[in-house]
Amino acid sequence: MQGGAISERSKEPIQPIPISFDYDAAKIELGKNLFFEPRLSKSGWITCNSCHNLSTGGVDNLPTSIGHKWIFGPINSPTVLNAKFNLAQFWDGRAKDLKEQAKGPIANPMEMASNHELVVGVLQSIPAYVQWFKEVYKDEKITIDNVTDAIAAFEETLTTPNSRFDAWLNGYNDKISESERQGYDLFKDKGCIICHNGIGAGGTSFQKFGVAKPYDKDTQTLGRYNVTKEEKDKYAFKVPLLRNIELTAPYFHDASAWSLSEAVKIMAEYQLGGTFTED
């Protein structure tokens, strides 16, 4: 490790994932159980982990997720890993944080297809949960706010620090190869870094898909416009995180790319207005 490298890289547009954070162990353990709890769904089969599988990079590796009665959803499920670093949740940013996001799928008829009142009733009928919530939230009754607060507390722990790239950012020069370093330099030089920055290498802004060239592969999903109703936000989406990107195919809101090389070509054509060589 070299001191000069640390000082220089502290100004990089991508920063290391923090290693430590404040947490409530009891709340996190409750949230973990709820994350894997199928009784939050109408069928008793679907969990948060169904679409955000922690064994496969926090996604299900499907173009769109399978919900209630085997219905396929309208959009690709983003990873839950490092989601705490997003400026908002969902592709269109309709949820301000993880707690608000967790309320959505439970009551979505295409996902878990339950409702908040039913979920609270189910949990209240299970003595172990009644006791658990009492211990975590003191004398409060089980509420949907407490349910999603616990889930969010668990999801906030799903970060992936100590990558080789983070070690390099922290001054350990030998942690990435020369070709990887050159790739990062190109990533910055070509303008990818304009959108993919911050701790998560993304998730810090909403950007129009199809800046240099109209993107007409998917005309059904309007993105941020669904929230703001402003014309400028049509086809604007939250920039996805690039952390652990090798695990989270297919890529983009419409799952139109199954490999990183294909995704890079699409970005070059539609966002940057150019092409990249195979090298």
Which positions are catalytic?
111
CA distances to 63, 177, 183 from 165, rounded to whole Å, are 28, 10, 12
Peptide bond into 250 cis (omega under 30): yes
Helix H or strand E encompassing 31? helix 25-35
Cα separation, 64 vs 239, in Å, equals: 18
> Taking a C-beta distance cutoff of 8 angstroms, is the pair 155, 12 a contact?
no
> Taking a C-beta distance cutoff of 8 angstroms, is the pair 200, 194 a contact?
no
Chain-centroid distance of CA 22 in Å reads: 21
77-115 burial, b at 16+ Cβ within 10 Å, e below that, comes to bbbbbbbbbbebbbbbbebebbbebbbebbbeebbbbbe
Cβ-based neighbours of 204, under 8 Å, separated by 6 or more? 86, 87, 197, 198, 239
